[in-house]
Structures are given as structure tokens and as C-alpha cells.
Amino acid sequence: MIARRPSARVVSGRQRVVIEGITPLVDGGRYPIKRVVGEVVVVEADCFADGHDVLSCMLQYRHAEDGKWSEVAMRELGNDRWIASFAVERIGEWRYCVTAWVDQLQSWAHDFERRVDPEDLLVAAKSGADLIAGAAARAPTKEERKNLETWARSLREASADQVKQIAHDDALLALAVRYAARTGAVRTSLDLRIIVDRERARFSTWYEMFPRSASDTSGTHGTFDDVRKRLDYVSGMGFDVLYLPPIHPIGRIRRKGKNNAVTGTTEDPGSPWAIGAEEGGHKDVLAALGTLDDFKSLVEDARAHRIEIALDIAFQCAPDHPYVAAHPQWFRWRPDGTVQYAENPPKKYQDIYPLNFESDDWSALWDELRSVFEFWIDAGVRIFRVDNPHTKPFRFWEWVIAEIKREFPDALFLAEAFTRPKVMHRLAKLGFTQSYTYFTWRNTKEELIEYFTELAQDPSREYFRPNCWPNTPDILAVSLRNAGAPAFRLRLLLAATLAANYGIYGPAFELLENAPRDDVSEEYLNSEKYEIRHWDLSRPDSLAPFISSVNAIRHANAALQSDWSLIFHTVDNSELLCYSKRVADNCIVVVANLDTRYAQSGWVTLDLDALDLASGTPYEMHDLLSGARYQWHGMRNFVRLDPALTPAHIFRVLGEPRPAAATSLTV
């Protein structure tokens, strides 16, 4: 006799439905997808069961703070694929799931239509009447109960000649289905999550500047008051985020000199990223910049200019940071009693100590670093650019960002991680709102098409929001080294139109800073990281007017304020790049000349269907940069661009849409 082990029934035998293939989904639901307020979440799933019964599928959703689920019926796309959508209406965490069941009422109605035998019809009618009566008992209003009860009674009392006519009532069937029993319903095992941010997460325009270089007087250390005087300048160029490198006391021990000299002088201001000195650390302000109250006033004045201050958070310490003496256990000490300074070969940071996240006292360290964010949030900051997050543990970032956003859901985090793709994507999954990208090193037509197609169309777009920068204080890109205004105009225009989030490091950018420190590194000559610079903003060759024009176009056109609609169009010239973005009736087409020395021409072939343009009908191309208007016909049209005049056309497309019957259905 074979001994049988008792079986464990983990599901009901009445549950026949399978739910799989859910999208959007990040790593099986381990991480949330991302949206901003007002956006629509489109959910698809494969839902099916054995046999031929009819299914009902519901998409359920709620804000994490709400106890009650809302739901919307999913419709079948074919081949057992179902779809529905909902809008996220406020910031914070949302949940969604799919529920499906064998719908006995709809299955009955489907089968009843095919029955012909009189006796069989009467029996089936009574079965349907029982199901309808059950729905009536669950109906919340007296009128609905009465209508369903009357229908059920009519089915029971009908003759064979009448019953089909009585049963065929789509309105009553829909009402009954609404309140029918969901016997054997199957629900996705996880409540899938959405992090919903404010609109600036999707669309932002960043300007980075060093406050210490903001003085109008050469040789004078800038202050927060000097930055306040430049708010009109920054706002006038169309920037809505003003990002400041670290504003804390700067270490004196091993302070760097000009051009990253290992040994500085007493006159050198040091690198702002060498954080901490005798007078304070991450929760203190460099006295030469002003006071904490001065900084708070700057935050308020910026807000009046419709600008937000973003603050650099760099979790690292100068050797004389107060943490080193107060919490030596937070650092990794070598046998000779010294701390190994930070390195990122071939770069060496002799003026910086890295924190030891593997310390036995890691929990206290985590709590302290969280309090740094909270301190600056209390000072009015809600946007943080995080320095080198890829050199700190993933678990820390997942924890600290969740902790901050639980209390301050409007906080935004930009990950400055120029590292391996999987690491960058992991940080985005863990909670970083936006991410730096490889745009700085993508120059050819093929590179740009491949990379931005990935950013706009790959499933990773559900969690990875790109923020593109032509330059940073650390990176003088090859495309800008010893280059002139045409190269700078091109790189700015590409960043500003390919990506909804972009930024520049200025005034170095608009004043065409282009001299490298040497032939090997990406460092600037006379880098502002190591010395105070004086910038003449009134220079006649400044790109500020051009930048203002491009940013004004971004702010006036919804198509340029999101990433997902980006598609590329064919041009028969390898130096010409054509792409479009479209939101509702706002359609933008960009044709850019990637050759910054010579004029280029070619034939552009537009995908008229993608642009929702009727074939055979002329349409107007309004160049928003120059103001010129062109009449285009059909798919193929000729362009010529001279980089000495303009890097690109930014066209607003004005034309007759395709006939409604030919327009694809969107949810």
C-alpha cells in the first residue's frame, strides 16, 4: 500500500482563471513604476481560463492612503489580452492590481443565445433567473433591485416563444453583471506600486552655477545675495531649477589647488565637494556665502521667480569634517592609522574621505544621513542632486528615499551616476526620480538614434527618467573641446528637444568655455571646482539669447515636455537627424545638422501616420526658432541647414489630421 502525504490546498478549486503577462511591471513587481500627477496608467494582462466560459476582468487601483479600491472594467484586445487605464490624480504611492473571474451571468447569456430546443430554453431561463435574482439582492438601490427582480420573474414565467426576447436585454444584463457574484475570482498576488511625482519630475530645465563665482566684481567671493541678483538672468533664460554645488564649509586639510593641484595654497578656496571643516559639516553653510537665513531667503526669492533651488548632496567628508573626530567608526581606517582617501581611478580625491557603510555602526550612520536631507528640506529645498550614488549601497538609497518621500512626497532626487548601465538602472528602480545619462558621449546619428530610442521606447522607461546634460563641472565633452558656438548650440538644442529633462553647467556653457586641462582628461582648464571664476554675462558672444529661445519653445509646447512619444524619421544624409514628438494636437518635428562646420542638405521622409497627418494634403511647417513658415507636401521634403546660422529647424506641424476612422484608438 502506497502511503500518501496529505495535500495542502492553497487555492480554491473554484478558481479557474489565470492572470499573467501584466504590463507595466518592473522586475515582477519588486519595484514601482513612475508617473506624474494627471498621467494615465495603461495596464494590460493575459487573462484566461479552461473551457469556453466568458470572463470578467477588473483593473483595481487606489492611493496608498485610501482604504477603498476604485475599479474599471478591462476590455478584451483579442487572444486573451485585456486592457484598461486610470489616471493618477495626486502625488504619493499608488497601488494597482488585476482581478478576473468566470462570469456566470455573461456565460449564461452567451450560451442562451445559441439554444433552440423549447424545453432546454425554459430550463436555461430559470437558471439565468436565479443568477439575476442573486445580483438583484446585491444591488444597492431600490430601483435597481426592482428592475432586476422583475426581469428574473419575467424569465421564470415566460413561455418558450417569449423567453428569448425577454432574455435579450443588454441594459439589464449590464446592470446584473455589475452586481453579480464574483465566484472564484482570482487576484494578482501582489499589489503593484506606482510612485506618482509632481510634474517637475517629468519636465524640468536645470541651470547649475557656483555661488562663490556669482559676484559681479572680479576677485570677490560670491554670496547668496549675489545669486539672488542673478535670478532674473536665470529665469530670463527659461530655467526652472537652479542647482547649487555643495554650499557647506570646505576642508582645509589636503585642500586642492588650481587645476586639481594636489597641494593648494592658503589663497585657494578648495573644492566644494571636500565637505566639512572645524566650523561645521553637511548641516552648515560656508560663512563666505552667507548665513542659513540668507540661504532660506534665496530659496524664497527663487520661488517668486518660479525657480526651485536644487541642492547637491554628497555623502563624503574632508579630513577635518566634524564626523571624523566625533564618529571615527564611520570611516575605514588603515593599519597605519590613516584613512584611505576616495578614488575613482584614474581620478584621485586626496581631499575627501569616503564613508564606511559597512561599519558596525551603519544604522546610526544611515539615520544621520537621512537627517541631512531632512535638515535641508526644513530649509525649503525639495530637489536634490545626489553626487556619486553608485558608490554607496543600494539598500541605503532604497531606504532613505522611501523614508523621505513618505513624509515629503514632493521631494525629487537626481542620480549623478555616470557608471555601468545596470547600476544606473538599479538606482532608478530604487527610487531616484531622474537619472543622468550617456547623452554627453553620444554624438553620431547612429548613437543618438539607438540611445534615445532605448530611453523613449524600452520597458525601462517605466522607471528610468533621463536628464540630459551637454556639460558638467566634471565633464568637458569631446564635442565641446576647443569648439565654437555652433557645437554648443547644437548640443544644447539636442538635449532640450530629445529629453524633457535637461540641464547645463553655466555660465561656462553659454560663455563657450571649451579649453581642456590636457589632451587626456575631460577636466576644464582653470576648472571652477578649484577656483573662483569671474564671468562676464554681458559678453556679445553669449548664447543666453539662443538658450532663452529654445527654452521658451519647450515651455510653450507640450510635445517637448515628455519623452515617450519620441520617434525618429528617415533622412538620406548621415549628418542630418530628424525626430518628432507629439501630444494631442501639438506636434513638433526637429531636423538637426550634426555637422557643426559645414552646411548639410537632404531629403526628409516623415511617417505621416505617426504624425497624424492626412496623406495627399499639404501641411505647414512653422520653424519656431526663426519664425519662417514652409509648405510641405507628402512624406518627402528637402531641407538645408547651415551651422553658422542655426543648428536645426524646430518645426511646429500645422496640418489636416487623418480621417477619424483611420486614427488609432488610444486608451
Mean pLDDT confidence for 386-409 = 98
Long-range pairs for 344-351 at CB < 8 Å and ≥24 separation? 344/388, 344/391, 349/273, 349/274, 349/316, 350/254, 350/256, 350/262, 351/251, 351/253, 351/254, 351/255, 351/256, 351/270, 351/271, 351/274, 351/318, 351/319
Residue 79: left (phi > 0), alpha (psi -120 to 50), or beta? left
Mean pLDDT confidence for 200-206 = 98
The pTM is what? 0.93
3-state helix, strand, coil in the chain (%, to 5): 30, 25, 45
Mean pLDDT confidence for 620-635 = 97
CA distance 548 to 625: 11
Whether residue 149 is predicted with pLDDT greater than 90 in this model: the reply is no
232 sits in which H/E element: helix 231-236
pLDDT band at residue 13 under the 50/70/90 scheme: confident
CA distance 585 to 532: 48
pLDDT in tens, 453-509: 999 999 999 999 999 999 999 999 999 999 999 999 999 999 999 999 999 999 999
pLDDT band at residue 616 under the 50/70/90 scheme: confident
Contact 563/253 with Cβ under 8 angstroms?
no
Whether residue 665 is predicted with pLDDT greater than 70 in this model: the reply is no
CA angle (26 as vertex; 24, 27 as ends), nearest 5 = 135
pLDDT at 662: 37
Residue 657: is the preceding peptide bond cis (ω within 30°)?
Answer: no
CA distance 305 to 242: 11
Query: Considering just the CA atoms, what is the radius of gyration of the chain in Å?
Result: 31
Mean pLDDT confidence for 548-567 = 98
Q: Which residues are catalytic?
A: 387, 416
Mean pLDDT confidence for 307-332 = 98
pLDDT in tens, 418-461: 999 999 999 999 999 999 999 999 999 999 999 999 999 999 99
pLDDT at 301: 98
Please report, for residues 52, 121, 153, 161, 178, the alpha-carbon distance to residue 125 in angstroms, rounded to integers and kept in the order given.
20, 6, 10, 12, 19
Whether residue 4 is predicted with pLDDT greater than 70 in this model: the reply is no
pLDDT at 390: 97
For residue 368, give the C-alpha cell: 544621520
Domains, the chain, in order of start with CATH, read: 17-196 (2.60.40.10), 198-247+285-315+355-561 (3.20.20.80), 567-662 (2.60.40.1180)
Contacts of 548 (CB under 8 A, 6+ apart): 236, 237, 238
Whether residue 147 is predicted with pLDDT greater than 90 in this model: the reply is no
CA distance 587 to 611: 7
CA distance 77 to 79: 7
Whether residue 308 is predicted with pLDDT greater than 80 in this model: the reply is yes
Per the prediction, the chain carries an average pLDDT of 93
92 sits in which H/E element: strand 92-102
Of the listed ranges 124-128, 365-369, 470-474, 651-655, the least confidently predicted one is 124-128
pLDDT band at residue 661 under the 50/70/90 scheme: very low
For residue 650, give the C-alpha cell: 524646430
Please report, for residues 87, 163, 205, 258, 662, the alpha-carbon distance to residue 542 in angstroms, rounded to integers and kept in the order given.
43, 83, 19, 25, 48
- DSSP bridge partners of 602: 639
pLDDT at 659: 67
pLDDT at 9: 52
- Measure the N-to-C terminal CA separation of the chain; round to a whole number of Å: 60
For residue 27, give the C-alpha cell: 522586475
pLDDT at 524: 97
Contact 35/57 with Cβ under 8 angstroms?
no
Looking at the chain, the whole-number percentage of residues with pLDDT higher than 90 is 80
Helix axes 170-178, 104-112, angle to 10 degrees: 160
Contacts of 20 (CB under 8 A, 6+ apart): 45, 46
Of the listed ranges 171-175, 182-186, 214-218, 617-621, the least confidently predicted one is 171-175
